[in-house]
Structure 1
Amino acid sequence: MELTPLKYFVKLADVLSFTEASKELFITQSTLSLSIKQLEEELGVTLFDRIGKKIYLTDAGRDFLDCSRKAIEEVAYGVQHLKEMQHVYTGKIKIGVIYSLFPLLNICVLKFTKAFPKAELSIVYSHSVLELVELINSNKLDFALSYNPQDVSALTESTEYACMPLCVIAHETHPVAIRKHFSLSDLNEFPVIFLDKELYTRKVIDRMLAQYRIKVKPQIEVNSTPLLLDMLRTGHWISILPQDMTVSSPDLKAVPIKEKTEMMHISLLSLKGKRHSLLTEKFLEVLRQETQEIEEHRVAGGKDSDLFEGKPTGGGA
């Protein structure tokens, strides 16, 4: 069995449209139809039900889809592995990242691309940890840099690299910005803006507030971290966010919370059982070095270090 018909089958299974699949594959519909027909004859099963102008995967098609994806992935891994054995580090890495960890990823990308200039990176940003988990589970990402959700699915493997405390975040012109620490009981003295209740970071914040029996009614809730940060820059509101949120925003200050706070765990999420290419492993080496420095600075109390000013650390690829 050749690999090309499997690629055609997987694409058609993804979009469930001969028209759309043939466009994305850059082939004619007749070529695609013939390939699927020959594949079904070779397997002795019907992979798609044709009902009117619509098509649907059969039970056999769904079973074969998983096998096809694995076969295509294994061949791609083998080709990449042979190239890397010859020290030809080419290929594409698909990376997911949440907003607050993008500065960390940016440092890693800069070092990695200098070391491996022929490598290609595809970076997907999301403000939702759970959305990244879904992309991981559908094998649309090689890995994601994220905070570790407690309800990670059985398909997802999580490796913790470092952790960050929650802090009160305020613009440098806000009266709160000059405090050495902030008590949660003072939150209601200021206009507060929080992330939406459905987002993971907000769930952690609510859990922390409930622990200290503090009720806070935010004036504004948003589902976008960049929007929240822009609103903080007006100098009117304060918020609670992970400490590293200020890495790329020197005009925002992270004020430590007086009470014992929840920790946001920086983790690498990947599909359980998925084999990483050697090129991906090289990238993860860079990531491990950078996150190790984050943890060392946190333990040492180095909040004002270069890392938290958004500058690259001394670690190398």
Structure 2
Amino acid sequence: MELRQLKYFIKAKELLNFTEAAKILNISQSTLSQQIKQLEDELDVLLFNRIGKRIILTEAGEMFSEYAQQSINRANEGLLLLKDLNDLNTGKITIGVIYSMRIPFAKALIQFAKQYPGVKVQVVFGTTKDLLEKLDLHHFDFILTFLDEKSKQPHLKYQTLLKSNMVLVTAKKSALASKKSISLKEVATLPLALPFSGYSTIQFFVESFRQKKLHPNICMEINDIPTLFEVVKTGYWHTILSETSVNDPQVLGVPIQGKNMRRTIMIVSLKDAYEKRAVKEFYEVLTRIQIQ
């Protein structure tokens, strides 16, 4: 059994199409089919049912895939370990970030890139749900997201980065701009333009409204924060975000009253995955940025 065969099998499992898998792997379909057939012969079990041009994973294939993926991951981590014996002049790290962290994260990214110009950094912005799913698939070295204690999972490692107040974002010309704080009950009466329901911030507030039996006036859902700001600048609508998101000079954040209106942003990674030196250095940069 070869590692190459396991990689071929996993890609075919993902796509359930030998032709498409072969294209992505940059090999011929006949080579892919032959290698998987050899793997099946060695295991003495069918991994796929072939139905015409279609393939369907067998029960044995489904069970075997978890161990095949683990073998690939461990091999990749071993390679990373060897590469990490060298200095930080090369390498790549991939990071998932929630949208509301883009401003403080950008500061850390710029500082890290100046300090380690040889390390390539790939950044993907997304919702907490999407980022966690991709982290489980080893697509990220770590992610930055809002999380609370009840959401923690045993296979993940959590490091607290910072705490951020939840604020009502309103136009500076709005009558609300002079308020020192605002109650959740008052927020519920305002015309709101909010992030999509997939965002952790809106999920948090929907639950907060529900617990207080409030029915917010949600007029719009927009999956782009700069567009939300454009809507808010009119003075007719307001939004709810983390204070870390507010950087437009024409809007400001009014703190929302309540002991639960301060959320924790965490660095989340896979507990058993090898942690690159570059990743540890990025953690240090992130921490320094937050305490400045």
Residue 169 of structure 1, CA deviation: 0.9
Q: Shift of the alpha carbon at 1:5? A: 2.0
The Cα shift of 1:26 comes to: 1.0
Q: Alpha carbons of 1:41 and 1:252: their partners in 2 closer, same or farther (altered >3 Å)? A: same
Aligned-residue offset at 1:49 = 1.6
Code of the residue aligned with 2:135 in structure 1: it is I
Q: 1:79 to 1:197 in 2, by over 3 A?
A: closer
C-alpha displacement of 1:8:
1.6
Cα distance change on mapping 1:71 and 1:259 into 2, 3 Å = closer
Q: 1:258: Cα distance to partner?
A: 4.4
Number of residues paired by the alignment?
A: 291
Name the CA distance, whole Å, in 1 between partners of 2:184 and 2:57. Answer: 53
Q: Name 1:301's counterpart in structure 2.
A: none
Does structure 1 conserve the Cα–Cα contact (< 8 Å) formed by 2:189 and 2:216? no
Q: In 2, are the aligned partners of 1:22 and 1:32 still within 8 Å (CA)? A: yes
Identity %: 32
- Show the counterpart of 1:119: 119
Task: Give, in whole Å, the separation in 2 of the partners of 1:2 and 1:39.
Answer: 8
Q: Greater shift after overlay, 207-216 or 117-126? A: 207-216
SS of 2:167's equivalent in the other structure is: strand
Deviation at 1:261? Answer: 4.6
Q: CA deviation at 1:118?
A: 2.2
Residues 53 and 164 of structure 1: CA distance in aligned 2, closer, same or farther (over 3 Å): same
Between the aligned partners of 2:272 and 2:229, the Cα distance in structure 1 is 37
Q: What is residue 172 of structure 2 aligned with on the other side? A: 172
Judge which range, 144-153 or 14-23, deviates more. Answer: 144-153
Residue pair 2:102, 2:245 contacting (<8 A) in 1 also: no
The two structures, once aligned, show a CA RMSD in angstroms of 2.5
The Cα shift of 1:175 comes to 2.5
- Contact residue 40 and residue 46 of structure 2 kept, 8 A: yes
Unaligned 5+ residue runs, structure 2? Answer: none
Alignment-derived partner of residue 72 in structure 1: 72
User: Could you tell me which residue of structure 2 aligns to residue 135 of structure 1?
Assistant: 134
Give the corresponding residue for 2:49: 49
1:147 Cα deviation after fit:
0.8
Cα distance change of structure 1 residues 198 and 10 upon mapping to structure 2, 3 Å threshold: closer
Report what 1:230 is aligned to: 230
What secondary structure, in the 3-state scheme, does the structure 2 residue paired with 1:173 have?
Answer: coil
Residues 81 and 197 from structure 1, CA distance in 2 versus in 1: closer, same or farther, beyond 3 angstroms?
closer
Cα 1:40–1:216 shift into 2, 3 Å:
closer
Q: Supply the distance in 1 between the matched residues of 2:169 and 2:15 (Cα, whole angstroms).
A: 43
Task: Describe the SS at the equivalent of 1:85.
Answer: coil
Q: Which runs of 5+ in 1 are unaligned?
A: 294-312
Say which is worse superposed, 46-55 or 279-288, in terms of deviation: 279-288
Q: Which residue of 2 aligns with 1:161?
A: 161
Q: Measure how far apart 1:24 and its partner are.
A: 0.6
AA aligned to 2:29 is Q
